[in-house]
A and B are shown apart, each in its own frame.
Chain A
Amino acid sequence: MLAYLAKRLLSLVPVLLVITIATFMLIHIMPGGPAAAILGLEATQSDTDALNEAMGFDRPIAEQYINWIGGLFRGDLGDSLFLHQPVGQAISEHLGPTFSLAVVAEVIALLLAIPLGILAAYKRDSALDQLVRSLSLVGMAVPGFLLALFLMLFVGVRLHWLPIAGYAPLADGVWAHYRYLILPGISLGTIQAALIMRMTRSSMLEVLHLNFIKTVRSKGLRESKVLLKHALRNAFIPILTVIGQTFGTLVTGAVIIETIFNIPGIGQLVINSIERRDYTVIQGVVLTVTLLYVLINLIVDLLYGAVDPRVRLDRK
């Protein structure tokens, strides 16, 4: 187990190396620089050059990269060029909203997907099953940003039920916090719901065929108990895989949804930073987000062992 963990973590090193180098190269060949964003439309070329020089961007890229990596080992991601604060602090402030949003989206997805998936498998080939399968197909074809627009159109603009954009921290109260996250949560969670629904259905179908279900049934257990306690439990591993994978994408991929709904999360931070050419923040966010993604996947893998002792990770 520990050896497995060590191996997994070690295999991260080349991945991170590739990513940081790629990021570094990309942002330094992007046209324009942070000085332009700070100084504005009417700054002269000499003003811009002077500021770039003051910020150290006239030095060779390799030197800047090595300095940055050196900082990493001291736990220092550098300072934002635009936000007047350390990158680490900027990222941790923006992670909260993203994480909240991801959780809301995942909860919405699970509430929708698991019951429907189970029912569809239970009533295989019924009208309900057909409906669930069609829903899941459509759900996977509707991109989040489009769903967001439709939700804004109907719920926000026509019905005025929920705010169509914005964010309130949890400190402002539970309802204040969550009411902002419902529409973005639905936009983001639908695709996850479709994937999880599909997986729940097929995974349950497989288990329901097995002999032990017949045995349990013959014992006269209530059907709901058969389904939830015995079948679902055994069908859960593949479902968990999908949940894990999708949660990873939720945390790292909410960029567009955050932009549409104006949620001050990590996605909005990175979009703003690309626009402002805030190099240090872009580097820091990409690194953090990649790490998060990989770590979430690792945790999911570790969870297999907890859910199902038959899974031996080190054999994989």
Chain B
Amino acid sequence: MRKKWRSGLGLSAAAVLAFTVACSNGNNNNGGSNASGSASPANSSTASQPAAASYKDSLKIAVTAQPPTLDSATTASALALDIAGNIFETLFTLNGNYEPTPVLAESYEKSEDGLTYTIKLRQGVKFHNGKELTSDDVVASMNRWLATSSRAKTLLEEANFSASDATTVVLKLAKPNPDVLVLLSAQAAFPAIFPKEVIEAAPAEGITDYIGTGPYKLAEWKQDQYIHLVRNDDYASPEGEPSGFAGKKEAATPNIYYYFVPDNATRVAGVKSGEYDVADSIPTENFEELSADSNVALSSYPGGTLTAFLNSSEGAFKNEKLRQAAVAALNDEDILLASFANPDLYKLDPGFMNPDQTQWASTAGSEYYNQNDQEKAKQLLKDAGYNGEKIVLLTTPDYSEMYAATLVIQEELKQVGFNVEVLSSDFATFLKTKDEHSKWNLMVTSNGYQLIPPQLLAVTQSWVGLDDAQVKASVATISSEADPAAAKAEWDKLQGYLYEQAYSAVIGHYNEVVATSKKVEGFSQFVGPVLWNAKVAK
């Protein structure tokens, strides 16, 4: 079973150029094929009428697990966010070039001092319950998001929304932040706009009254089996060529079913047999088998990094020489092959950020990357006076790639003379143990890409207890630096420092694989699957 959590704020620029393995006539990133700038939502739905005869009235997608909730502000579950994205909308979202683009907003103005954003709302938008969207709803939803989402709490401290009239809201910040619209558009824990009444009645565990403004409505949630979405006939779509999560949304297929299929073999078999039109998170072991299948198109797209985090706050790895010895012993190529099975599905690169994102991609510290230098590691162990103290690797079998990587690292560390033990437990226990820093020394996790370096877990103190003044100072510089080149230089310095100190080390970059039936048209894969313009030929 494999579950994904959307850790980053999203993917970065060139990631859009996902490569299609089996050739399929443009079912990848080509969502605009059937939407040609028609004016009103009424028009667009009639426009899709003639085609309806030759397309199925439902689209079935197999995903790995049941999402914990569809209340996006409270979760980092990629799945929850993917599904919720059909039901809810935000003020802004990311287009295919990862630029903030208005959805429920129409336009905005930024004040001179960068502390006030005045956002005009698009008019004529209705909630699924028939109520018209007003600034009160937006203010209630956004302020709840600022208070509940842990990312918003740390990155937009003391920010506040208020209504200036029925269709205008004002965002006030405590200090200027060049990335504020990116934060509002990012997909992780995205700020969905609910009706004000729903927000006010929200229980502490999260909202369960899923009323949004999106192209689909929640029809049924059959626990542990599927979520059924139906087309919202009153949907008022934003304009523009579909791109990323932005642009026109057709709601091309009347019904969407998200089936929860934790078993990899079932998802694979299901998409082969045509039972599912789309299957998410194809296990890398099945990649070759599926690419040989003429009914299935595979698309793989950059997923994120597999990173080793060393616990520098307690235990043996407080000693930097021991950390450096561990990093020196890593043979990243072996680890990646064991974790992702197929060399087409991973890439060796020392960067913590997406290597295709020119603003932040960096190879600083590459002399410490993929060293596979057993002699150096042994020497460092000797210098550190290592006395055979037990090194504990923390992992969970619930994430197969993290688990496989950990087992290979265990072997590699053993080879150079570390006394290594793997502490493996189910996901809930893993999370609990992660915060008990005295119990483990190294952990490998797979993390989706971040949009800006300050959000990297590798520099976040609460993640594995990293407490280093130089890291903090660098992060502060990067987040306040207005000049991109200077910020980049600071990030190079910081990434090099992380490697040199062996606080954490990227093992490699992995691709996610989605399989679609060749009958699917208009499907695109962005940060998650984009289904609202997808149709399935009969």
Contacts and interface: CB of A to CB of B under 8 A. Distances in A.
Task: Judge A-B direct contact (beta carbons within 8 Å).
Answer: yes
Interface of A: 30-34, 36-45, 47-48, 50-51, 54-55, 80-85, 90, 93-94, 152, 156, 163-166, 259-262, 264, 268-269, 272, 274-277
B224 A166 contact: no
A40 B68 contact: yes
A43 B273 CA distance: 38
B428 A277 contact: yes
25 contacts: A30-B429, A31-B429, A32-B428, A32-B429, A33-B432, A34-B428, A36-B432, A37-B427, A39-B74, A42-B5, A42-B457, A43-B76, A43-B150, A54-B205, A84-B69, A84-B223, A93-B222, A164-B265, A164-B269, A166-B275, A262-B262, A274-B426, A275-B427, A276-B68, A276-B428
Contacts of B206: 38
B269 A156 contact: yes
B433 interface: yes
Interface in B223-254: 223-225
B224 A38 contact: no
Given A54-B204, A165-B266, A45 B68 contact: no
Contacts of B275: 163, 166
Given A37-B428, A275-B427, A83 B273 contact: no
Nearest to A272: B224
Interface in B51-79: 66, 68-69, 74-77
Interface bracket on B: 35 or more
B269 A51 contact: no
A41 B224 contact: no
A55 B262 CA distance: 27
A28 B139 CA distance: 40
A268 B428 CA distance: 17
Contacts of B262: 262
Contact of B432 (A31, A82, A84): A31
A45 B150 contact: no
Of B5, B265, B270, B433, which is in contact with the most chain A CB atoms at under 10 Å from its CB?
Answer: B265
A33 B205 CA distance: 14
Contacts of A277: 428
Contacts of B7: 41-42
Nearest to B462: A44
B208 A41 contact: no
Interface of B: 5, 7, 66, 68-69, 74-77, 150, 204-206, 208, 221-225, 261-263, 265-266, 269-270, 273, 275, 398, 425-433, 435, 445, 457, 462-463
Nearest to B276: A166
Of A33, A39, A40, A274, which is in contact with the most chain B CB atoms at under 10 Å from its CB?
Answer: A40
A32 B75 contact: no
Given A272-B66, A274-B426, 12 more contacts: A31-B432, A32-B429, A36-B431, A37-B428, A41-B76, A42-B463, A45-B462, A84-B69, A84-B223, A166-B275, A260-B263, A272-B224
Nearest to B463: A42
A183 to B, nearest CB: 12
A41 B266 contact: no
A40 B429 CA distance: 12
Contacts of B457: 42
A227 B405 CA distance: 62
Contact of B68 (A38, A90, A152, A262): A38
Contacts of B265: 152, 156, 164-165
B283 to A, nearest CB: 14
A262 B263 contact: yes
B432 A32 contact: yes
Please name the 9 residue pairs, one residue from A and one from B, whose CB atoms are nearest each other, closest first: A32-B428, A54-B204, A165-B266, A32-B432, A262-B263, A36-B431, A40-B76, A31-B429, A83-B223
Nearest to B70: A84
Of B74, B205, B262, B462, which is in contact with the most chain A CB atoms at under 10 Å from its CB?
Answer: B205
A41 B68 contact: no
A207 B113 CA distance: 98
Nearest to B225: A264
A17 to B, nearest CB: 27
